[in-house]
């Protein structure tokens, strides 16, 4: 719409300035037209550069997650560190056992890890630009910037028994677990820690014991992968 408006104002300014016989009127048409043209161009730049007439809109989606490795006894969320600092990470995840492995984009996303006693899931909050109302959408819709990505926040809700490892750590863990002695040692560590906790808190329910055992197993697995 704003392109049509610019064309109409330009034509009126041109023909009014050229063909109106009264020079005083023609000059006023030209001045007013030039001001309007500059104003329309300024609005176009403001919309394209500063998202004038738009506001951030958040789109939230929730997806179930399954472990990226095939072992159901030792589920994992894997990541790949970028750079030497290790601050930027690409997380690898699957939404079902048959789905392909997906990954986050550290340049466009902010990732959070939240431990939970519920099922594994990914809550993705995508923030995009959206027009404030129908007027601005009609005026600037031709620019095609509606839905332009601002940032995505991924919240990984990870159960207590899931290990969070880098690809390198996962490979090391797989090598260590091929050793029967290592497997036995891991089981003994978990049982010992659980026994010590039960001695201090003998009133724990079976459900609480299962959650705690899963947590201790995950901690032992992560330690073994170091």
Residues 131-171 pLDDT 10s: 999 999 999 988 888 999 999 999 999 998 898 998 888 88
Of the listed ranges 16-30, 115-129, 131-145, the one predicted with least confidence: 16-30
As a whole number of angstroms, the distance between CA 187 and CA 97 comes to 26
The residue-averaged pLDDT of 23-38 equals 90
Q: Are 160 and 214 in contact (CB under 8 A)?
A: yes
Contact, 43 vs 5, CB < 8 A?
Answer: no
Q: Are 199 and 180 contacting, i.e. CB atoms less than 8 angstroms apart?
A: no
Are the C-beta atoms of residues 62 and 149 closer than 8 Å to each other? no
Please choose, from the candidates 140, 136, 113, 109, the residue with its C-alpha nearest in 3D space to the C-alpha of residue 125. 109
Measured from the Cβ of residue 87, the count of other Cβ atoms closer than 10 Å reads: 9
pLDDT in tens, 180-219: 888 788 788 888 888 888 888 888 888 888 888 888 888 8
If you compute the radius of gyration of the chain from its CA atoms, what whole number of angstroms results?
A: 30
Local structure of residue 19 (DSSP, 8 states): H
Q: What are phi and psi of 215, to 5 degrees?
A: -65, -45
Over residues 81-94, the pLDDT tens digits come to 887 666 788 999 99
């Amino acid at each position: 719409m704003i392109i049509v408006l610019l064309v109409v104002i330009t034509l009126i300014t041109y023909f009014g300035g050229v063909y109106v016989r009264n020079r005083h009127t023609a000059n006023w048409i030209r001045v007013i037209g030039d001001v309007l043209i500059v104003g329309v161009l300024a609005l176009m730049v403001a919309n394209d550069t500063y998202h004038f007439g738009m506001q951030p809109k958040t789109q939230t989606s929730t997806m179930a997650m399954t472990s990226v490795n095939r072992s159901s006894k030792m589920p994992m969320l894997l990541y790949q560190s970028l750079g030497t600092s290790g601050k930027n990470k690409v997380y690898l995840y699957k939404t079902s056992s048959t789905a392909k492995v997906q990954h986050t984009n550290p340049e466009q996303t902010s990732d959070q890890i939240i431990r939970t006693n519920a099922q594994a899931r990914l809550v993705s909050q995508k923030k995009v630009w959206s027009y404030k109302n129908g007027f601005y959408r009609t005026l600037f819709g031709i620019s095609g910037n509606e839905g332009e990505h601002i940032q995505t926040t991924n919240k990984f809700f990870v159960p207590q028994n899931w290990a969070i490892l880098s690809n390198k750590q996962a490979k090391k863990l797989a090598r260590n677990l091929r050793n029967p002695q290592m497997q036995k040692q891991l089981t003994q560590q978990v049982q010992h820690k659980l026994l010590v906790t039960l001695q201090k808190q003998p009133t724990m329910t079976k459900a609480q014991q299962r959650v705690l055992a899963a947590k201790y197993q995950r901690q032992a697995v992560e330690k073994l992968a170091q």
